[in-house]
Amino acid sequence: MKILHIYAENYKTYKHLDLDLEVTNDRPIILIGGGNGCGKTTLFDAIYHALYGLEIKSVRQFEELFNAGVKLSTGMKNKSIVLQVDFSGYVLNKEQQYRLKRSYTLTEDRILENVSLSMGGNTFVYGSGSTAQQRNESIDVINKIIAANLPSELSSYFLFDAMKTSDLLKEEQINKLIEKNINSVMGFNKYSRLRRGAETLLSEKKAERLENENQRKEYGKLTSKKQELEKDIDDLNEEYAEALEYANEHLEQYNHLKEGRNADDVTREKIQRINHSIQNTLKAEQEYRQNLDGLTKDIETNVIFPKLANLLSTEIEMIVHAKEDVANANANLLSNLQIEQFTRGLVEIIEERYLSGRKLDVDSLIEEMKLRQERENTTDDRFAFLSQDDINRLKELVNASVSNPFTLLDNQREQLIIDIKELPKQHEQIREYERTLNGNDYTIIELYERNNKKITDLKEAIEKKKAEISDLAKKIATYDYDIPQIPDPQYDLLCKLPDFFKNLSTKLLRSKKASIERMMRDQLNLNLVVYAGFIGRVELSSSETDDISFKIYHKDGNEIYLSQLNAGAKQTVMQVLLKVLYNLGDYDPPVMIDTVMGVLDKESREVILEKYFPDLAHQTILLSTDTEITTENDFKKIQAYVAKTYTLHRDKENQCTTISEDYFGLKTQDF
């Protein structure tokens, strides 16, 4: 199976999502980048729900799924949430292309669903207006086609969030998941179901052969009880798996609450952060209004004077320069006081030494000296009417550093428009959080510990029912059956079928077991950085109860305990298992991974990029941030295997995601 194209309309953050996802044999990777909140997980969900459908049970749920930007601008009337996926798959060794389209429309508080599947010129359609027969027939065909390519129960193994694989903390959880993966992906479950069916038919035949009516009734009760117990075990196993999943998902929150951070504290922190954001927006609005008022009041200082200075700067510089030339030229001239002091001093000396008591007309000499200096000074001061204070003010006017206040105000205005639009949503978030406040609520701790007890109780219940089945089997075996004189080939065949299917499943597991163990060992030696090159063997062991355990051994012979691996190493183990099961399983689906690097360290990331992703599957869709697969170093390591690149961008104003055909600005041809 290959996903060729995904289209979505009005779905969550996407007004229109239209992506070509075709790959080639030598370039099997689609790389999709985006920051947190840009729509990577929503794209992941769009593909999943296009294949398997949405369950919209209320108007509220429809509104939550409908794009907020479209809802605010034009409303939801006569508009639909549309999910469409084009994919290809092989039928009888011939490739067939399919187009599966699902639309959901809100009409008079009812959710109308319409589904169509096109293939080879044929179209199968059903919807809310279809008759029961039409609906059942089309659903049956569509579900068979999807199941033939990728059954929904297996989708979580090939369409998954890498971060969640690192949540496995207990060895029993890892073993249970590995057992489920192997039985489901390798197709072994169907043989268990066939064995159960054969045992049921055989029980009915044996009951018919009993001579005594009371024996037949008692025998029927025992076999019915055995079948009920087997069904109970299946149900308990499902509950057990769900309980393990709950424990994984809520471990971090449980630990936080155990340390004193209860649910209300977390919610109050969220409310406080939102309130802080609201207050910042209101404060920014007030500052903007004050700045706007200030600009209006001081428009001469902020706008007119700087503009005037800019226009007159050349003339002012000329005046200042001329005044400086005059000042330089007059620098050596004496002032009137200096002339008077100098002349009087000189006359006193001349009168004492040379004139023997005669007196000169000092005042006349002083006036003569002043007139002579004026005649000799040829500097023309055209701007004599300007004082030095005037010149200094002109200099300040020209040299004043003034920024354009309009640019700053306009930037404030644009940001305010965005922030103010978010205020109603933020107030609604606060109301939602406030409705969840219950005081000192330690419910999660109680639920988590109750779930852990449930895990223990379920394990005991499963073992108890297995023991009951074993006892019933012994009782059933004690009944004497009437052996007819005429041979009964059908009965003889039924007697052999249960053991046949059980042995077949065991043999298949054994035949695959060596391949799984060998491939797991080789892949772990390549990808598990902390033990790279030192994995001696991987061991899969199974018991008569169909339980499968998984162990890793060092080359020195000691076991490497799964429970002691860190989160990044556990993620690597699970991703390696995925690759092995993909190569050996019955299905050939695409692999789609969100948060591709999860909690891997730098060295592990490099190994995964170079040795894991390039040959993981015939189509691998990676959803990543630029901190996981970086543009500086990581992109070029896989670019030779990348068929297409996309980057998701969040448009806050229009409340939607837009897409560019690059990876954070880079394209494959850039390297």
CA distances from 549 to 171, 179, 182 (A): 9, 7, 11
Which of 376, 409, 437 is the C-terminal boundary of a domain?
A: 376
Q: What is the predicted pLDDT for the residue at 169?
A: 39
Judgement on whether residues 181 and 34 belong to the same structural domain of the protein: yes
Any idea which of 149-158, 193-202, 479-488, 576-585 has the lowest mean pLDDT? Answer: 479-488
Judgement on whether residues 14 and 159 belong to the same structural domain of the protein: yes
Q: Is residue 102 part of a domain?
A: yes
Which of 321, 345, 376 is the C-terminal boundary of a domain?
A: 376
Q: Is residue 146 part of a domain?
A: yes
Question: What domain count does the chain have?
Answer: 2
Tally of CA atoms within 13 A in the half-sphere of 624 that contains its CB: 26
Q: Is residue 252 part of a domain?
A: no
Work out the end-to-end distance of the chain between its first and last CA atoms, rounded to an integer number of angstroms.
30
CA distances from 670 to 178, 487, 622, 665, 666 (A): 41, 77, 19, 10, 6
30-37: average pLDDT? 92
Q: Is residue 85 part of a domain?
A: yes
Residue 43 confidence class, pLDDT cut points 50, 70, 90: very high
SS (H, E, C) 350-387: HHHHHCCCCCCCHHHHHHHHHHHHHHHCCCCCCCCCCC
* Cα gap 28→639, rounded to integer Å: 11
591 contacts 158 by C-beta, under 8 angstroms: yes
Q: Is residue 143 part of a domain?
A: yes
Judgement on whether residues 364 and 502 belong to the same structural domain of the protein: no
Please state whether beta strands 29-34 and 14-20 pair in parallel, antiparallel, or not at all (unpaired).
unpaired
Q: Is residue 547 part of a domain?
A: yes
* Residue of 53, 160, 51 lying closest to 596 (CA atoms): 160
Judgement on whether residues 19 and 168 belong to the same structural domain of the protein: yes
Q: What is the CATH number of the domain that holds 142?
A: 3.40.50.300
Residue 2 has pLDDT above 60, yes or no: yes
Domain containing residue 343: 334-376
Q: What is the predicted pLDDT for the residue at 485?
A: 47
Q: 495-498 long-range contacts, Cβ below 8 Å, gap at least 24?
A: 495/202, 497/194, 497/195, 497/198, 497/201, 497/202, 498/195, 498/198, 498/199, 498/202
Token pair for 598: 């999860």
618 contacts 223 by C-beta, under 8 angstroms: no
For the stretch 468-526, pLDDT in tens is: 888 888 877 776 555 454 556 665 666 666 666 666 666 666 667 788 888 889 999 99
Which residue matches tokens 């000192």? 440
Token pair for 298: 């001081």
Residue 219: phi, psi to the nearest 5?
-60, -40
Judgement on whether residues 22 and 168 belong to the same structural domain of the protein: yes
Q: Is residue 552 part of a domain?
A: yes
Token pair for 637: 């390591």
Total-model pTM: 0.57
Which of 376, 405, 435 is the C-terminal boundary of a domain?
A: 376
